[in-house]
Amino acid sequence: MADGGTMFFSVNGLSKHFGGIHAVENLSFTLERGEILGLIGPNGSGKTTTINMVTGALRPTGGTIVVEGSDMAHSPAHLFARRGVARTFQVPRLFRRMTVLENLIVPALSDYAERRSTAEERARGVLQFLKLGHLANQYARALSGGQQKLLELGRALMLKPRLLLLDEPFAGVHPRLLEEIIDHIKSLNRDGHTIVLVDHNLEAIQSVVTRVMVMARGQKIADGNVAEVLQNPDVVRAYTGTRTSH
Amino acid sequence: MLHLSFTRWSQAVLLIVALLLPLGMGPYWIHVGAIAWYYALLAASWALLAGYAGQFSFAHVAFAALGGYASALCAGQLGFSLPVAIITAILLAAVIGALIGALVLRLSGPYLALFTLAISEIFRLMLVAEEDVTRGMLGLPVPGLFTGKSDIPYYYLGLALVVLALVAMNGLLATRVGLFLRAIREDEGAARASGVDTTRYKILVFVVTSVIAAIAGIYYGHFIGILTPNIAILPEMGLVIAMAVIGGIESLPGAVIGAVVVFLLSETLRSYGEWRFVLMGLALILVQRFAQNGLFPVLESLGRRRQERRAAIPSVGGPSNG
C-alpha cells in the first residue's frame, strides 16, 4: 500500500526462479513520484528480469509489485501499460513494417477513450520533441539504431506514463545521439516523470540520476546516493568479479 | 474526372469483369467460377489471419467443413429451415472459433501451427468415423439454395459473399483493431507493452476468420450438394495457403485474385493430371523467391509507378475543356 506521501511504486520481496536458477531473489525497493533511479549491475545480475517483472512481461515467482496501492504482480503486461508503467527494451522492439507515426499511435489507441485524430496529434508532438518529425511516414525498420531507440522512447511516452523504465537506452548509440537521449531523459524527469534507468554506461547514468541501486546475482547489494554507492566495497567487488560477502 | 488509385481502379475493373463473365461463359466454367469463390473466401480470410495478424492456423478448412456439415445436418437431420440452419451453423462456428481461439492463441509460431493442424485432423477424422451422423466417406447430402439447374445464381451469390467479406474485413482493418493486429504480427511482446490486449484481438480475428471460413463451407456444401470429410484434408489447406501466398498474403484482394487464378489454372491444366500440382508448387517457389509479398502487391506497385509517371508528364495544350 502506498504510504500516502509521494511514494507510488513499491516492490516487496520480488523473486523469479527459472527452475533451479534464482534470477532475482527477495528484491525490495520503492520509488517516489518524480524520482529518477539508476539500476546497475554486472551482466546476469537480474536487472532486465526485474524490468520484465515490474512491467508484467514476466510473472514473478513471489513478492508484490504495488502500483498506486494495487498489487499488480500477476497482472498482464498490457494492464501495466494502461496504468502508466511504460518501458523500452534492451534491443529496440519496434513494429518494423509500420510507419514511425503508426508505431506511436498504437499505444495511444490502446486507451479506448482516445480518438485517432487526437492520437495522431499527440504522436506528432512527441515526434517534434524527439526531433523525429521528418521521419513520420518512414517505416520503422528504415531508422538508424539511435533513431530506433528514440522512437521506442516516444512509443513509451504515448502511454502518458507515470513510470518510465528504460532498459539500456545508451547502448550502441552514437555519442552525438547519446547526449540527445540524456537531454530528453533529463527533460522528461523535469516534467515530473518517474524514471528507472538501466544501463552499463556509468558515466552517462551519473550525469542523469541522483540515486542508484546495484544488483548482483539477483540480489540488491546497494541502494542510495550515486557517489556513496559507487564507493561501496560490495559494489566494487561485484564489478571486479570478486565474490560478494552475500 | 474521377481520380482513382491503381488499387481501387484495378479492383473496380476486376469486379466488373467478374460480374460480366457469366454472359460469355459456358455452364462448365460458370461452375468452376462458383467454386473459385469458395476458395477466394477461404484464401482472403486466411490472409487476414496469417498475413495481417501473423497467426498461422491450419484449421481454416476445418472451419469450412464445420460450417458446411452443421448447416447440412441442421437442415437435413434436425429439420430446420434453410435460413435457420445457416444462421445456426455460423453461430456454432463463432462459438467454436472463440473456444479454440482462447485455447490455442496463447501459443505462437510453430506451436500454434501444429496445434491447429492437430485440431483440424481430429475434426476430419471425427467426420469420417461418425458415419451414423455424417455418412462418413459416402458423403452427406446437402439441400440446394436455389431451384433450377443453372449454376449462375450460385456464381453471383459466391461473388457477393466475396465482396461482402472483403468489405467487412477491410472495415475491420480500417479501425484501431487493424492497427493492433499489424502490431501483434510485428512484435507481440512490444504490442503488449504498448497496452494492447493481444489475446483479445487474436481471439477476435480468429473468430472473424473462422466465421468467414464457415460461411465459405456453407456456400460450398449447398452448392455442390454433397459433403465429404475430404473438404478438410491437409492438401486443401495447402492449396488455400498457396493461393493466399501467390496472390499476396498481406493483401486481401491479392489473396482473392490468387485463389481465382490458381483454381482456374488448376482446372485449365487438369489434363496434365498430378503434374499440375508440381507446376503449382513451382509457381509457389518462384513467387516466394522473387515476390515475397505475392503477385498482386507487385502489380500494384508497378501500376502506381506508371500512374505517378503519367501524372508527372506535363499536359500539352493547356487545360482540357471537358
* Domains along the sequence of chain A with CATH: 7-91+160-240 (3.40.50.300)
Residues of chain B above pLDDT 70, percent: 95
B132 occurs within a structural domain:
yes
Per-residue pLDDT, B272: 86
Tally of domains within chain B: 1
Q: What is the pLDDT of residues B258-302, one digit of tens each?
A: 999 999 988 888 888 888 888 888 888 888 888 878 888 888 788
pLDDT at B178: 95
Query: Which of B194, B203, B249 would best serve as a mutation to test chain A binding (most A beta carbons within 10 A)?
Result: B194
- Cα B273 to Cα A59, B233, B237, B266, B267: the distances in Å are 55, 19, 20, 10, 10
A139 touches chain B (CB under 8 A): no
pLDDT at site B316: 47
Dump pLDDT digits (tens) for B175-221. Answer: 999 999 999 999 999 999 999 999 999 999 999 999 999 999 999 99
Set of chain B residues whose Cβ sits within 8 Å of the Cβ of A98: 179, 182-183, 186
pLDDT beneath 50: ranges in chain A: 1-5, 244-246
For residue B294, the model assigns a pLDDT of: 84
A102 to chain B, any CB pair closer than 8 A? The answer is yes
Q: Rounded to two decimals, what is the model's pTM?
A: 0.87
What is the pLDDT at residue B318? 42
pLDDT score for B258 = 92
pLDDT reported for residue B3: 56
- What span, in angstroms and rounded, lies between the C-alpha atoms of B234 and B240? 10
Cell numbers found for residue B121:
485432423
The per-residue pLDDT for A238 is 77
Interface pTM, i.e. ipTM: 0.89
Which domain does B134 fall in, by range? 29-230
Ramachandran category for residue A235: left, alpha or beta (phi over 0 → left; psi -120 to 50 → alpha): alpha
Residue A18: strand pairing partners? A21
Contacts of A102 in chain B (CB under 8 A): 179, 182
Q: Are strands A211-216 and A219-225 parallel, antiparallel or unpaired?
A: antiparallel
Question: What pLDDT, in 10s, does the model give residues B245-255?
Answer: 999 888 899 99
CA angle centred on A34, ends A101 and A77, rounded to 5°: 50
Q: Is B257 in contact with B247 (CB distance < 8 Å)?
A: yes
